[in-house]
Amino acid sequence: MIQFFAYSESVFCAKVRIALDMKGLEYAELPPPDGYGSKTYKAIIPSGSIPGLKDGNAGLSDSNAILEYLEETAPSPALLPEAAAERALVRMLMGMHDTRIEPSVRAFYAPIKAGTSPSDPCYHQLIENMGAAFERLEDLIEAAPYAVGHHVTLVECAYATTFSQAHQLATMFGGELKLGPKCQRWWQEMQSLSHAATSIDINRKAMQDWVAKFIQVDA
């Protein structure tokens, strides 16, 4: 059986879990033995990072590489469109997630870990920055109803928990994640996908617990 190494609070891991679930694959989800980067874990997943996927002899890492692997080894249901231009758009949006959108959410982690008070103005700036990052998506997605056309693709796997975590953090620090009409519509659709909803729930609870280790927040 596939072994999926993950932490519940990671949106990169959620991407992979959603794809595994959408494809109906059987897998065991485990934390990386002795933590990520450990010698024990690197013996299974050489990069030592999470998410990691062990399938037979393959010890894979990098969420996007894993998603492409799953698409090739378990092609049904397809999570990449047929047309080359649409496939390229899916890959562009996945890259955008990792280089622009997720980093705007991750930016909260350092002050949280440092125990910075929830009333510190730095969080307002981070909420603004996150809104500006998400705003860039408005011109790139179709929201018809999914990001790229009428079918669910890897883009929904990539973004569902990131939208959730962005909303969660903005609310925790007394603000809100402002979304344009297309992003708003798309976010509603993502929440109604049952496999995405499962990972959103796992991620939300794990984040709540993780933040509570460092600071006290109401929401």
Ligand X SMILES: N[C@@H](CCC(=O)N[C@@H](CS)C(=O)NCC(=O)O)C(=O)O
Interface stretch with ligand X, choices 44-52, 76-84, 138-146, 182-190 (CB under 6 A) = 44-52
49 binds ligand X (CB under 6 A): yes
Q: Rounded to the nearest 10 degrees, how much is the dihedral formed by the CA atoms of 180, 181, 185, 190?
A: -10
29 binds ligand X (CB under 6 A): no
CA distances, 7 to each of 15, 45, 193, 202 (Å): 12, 15, 21, 10
Instruction: Please state, in angstroms and rounded to a whole number, the distance separating the CA atoms of residues 43 and 173.
Output: 40
- Residue from 20, 51, 134, 154 binding ligand X (CB under 6 A): 51
- Residue from 29, 55, 62, 142 binding ligand X (CB under 6 A): 62
What number of chain residues touch ligand X (CB under 6 A)? 12
Of the two residues 55 and 62, which places its CB atom closer to ligand X in the complex?
Answer: 62
98 binds ligand X (CB under 6 A): yes
48 binds ligand X (CB under 6 A): yes
Of the two residues 6 and 143, which places its CB atom closer to ligand X in the complex?
Answer: 6
Q: Rounded to the nearest 10 degrees, how much is the dihedral formed by the CA atoms of 129, 130, 135, 137?
A: 130
162 binds ligand X (CB under 6 A): no
146 within 8 A of 114, measured Cβ to Cβ: no
Of the two residues 34 and 176, which places its CB atom closer to ligand X in the complex?
Answer: 34
- Give the residue from 72, 54, 51 showing the smallest Cα distance to 62: 51
Of the two residues 95 and 115, which places its CB atom closer to ligand X in the complex?
Answer: 95
- Residue from 36, 41, 108, 123 binding ligand X (CB under 6 A): 36
37 binds ligand X (CB under 6 A): yes
Of the two residues 47 and 116, which places its CB atom closer to ligand X in the complex?
Answer: 47
Tell me which residues touch ligand X (CB under 6 A): 10, 12, 36-37, 48-51, 62-64, 98
